[in-house]
Structure 1
Amino acid sequence: MTASLTLDGFRADLAELLYQRPDDIDLEEHPLSAGLDSLRITTLLERWRETGVDVTFLELAECTSFAQWWQLLSARRELAP
């Protein structure tokens, strides 16, 4: 397992797939409006699962902002062994 997921790592992962700088990520933006598609979301899911965070595509799809994604991932991260 790789290092645990941090907010900085979360922002960096999003920025990489959105071709932005991590500081330019607006956490209140809707993931689809920001330019993510299902393939990129799946890529992020796989990356985050490697850090021990158990989350599903459907759970992310129900969220309306990157901030909600982070809340979900943070909660799951705390439950990870």
Structure 2
Amino acid sequence: MRQDIAALIHIDPEEIGEDDNLADLGLDSMRAMNLVLLWQERGVHLDFARMAERPTLAGWWQLARQCMDAIMEARS
């Protein structure tokens, strides 16, 4: 996730802290939507509106874990 974000905003992944506001680092809504589409292709379906409420790497990891937990629960 960190590498995908860094590639879109043209910075080193190490420059993105867990609690950094991604908009402050240059991630605008169009780039965020591109990430949503990319991750959907990989099987992770994050809600753009919920991502906007938590514009940090830590927040997005939490959303991704919730998504994956829901998928695993539905399969069992």
**TM-score, normalised by the number of residues in structure 1:** 0.77
Identity %: 33
* Matching residue of 1:30: 21
Amino acid at match of 1:56: D
Query: CA–CA distance in 1 between the matches of 2:55 and 2:11?
Result: 20
Gaps in structure 2 of 5+ consecutive residues: none
- Counterpart in the other structure of 1:74: 65
**Distance 1:14-1:64 versus aligned 2 partners, 3 A rule:** closer
Q: Highest CA radius of gyration, 1 or 2?
A: 2
Deviation per CA, 1:9-44, whole angstroms, max 9, x where unpaired?
x11101101211222221210121111111100000
**Structure 2 matches for 1:53-72, cutoff 5 A?**
53-72=44-63
Return the alpha-carbon distance in structure 2 between the equivalents of residues 34 and 74 of structure 1: 23
Query: Unpaired runs of 5+ in structure 1?
Result: 1-9
Aligned residue number for residue 7 of structure 1: none
Q: What is the identity, as a one-letter code, of the residue corresponding to 2:4?
A: D
> How high is the TM-score relative to the length of structure 2?
0.81
How much is the aligned-residue C-alpha RMSD, in angstroms? 1.5
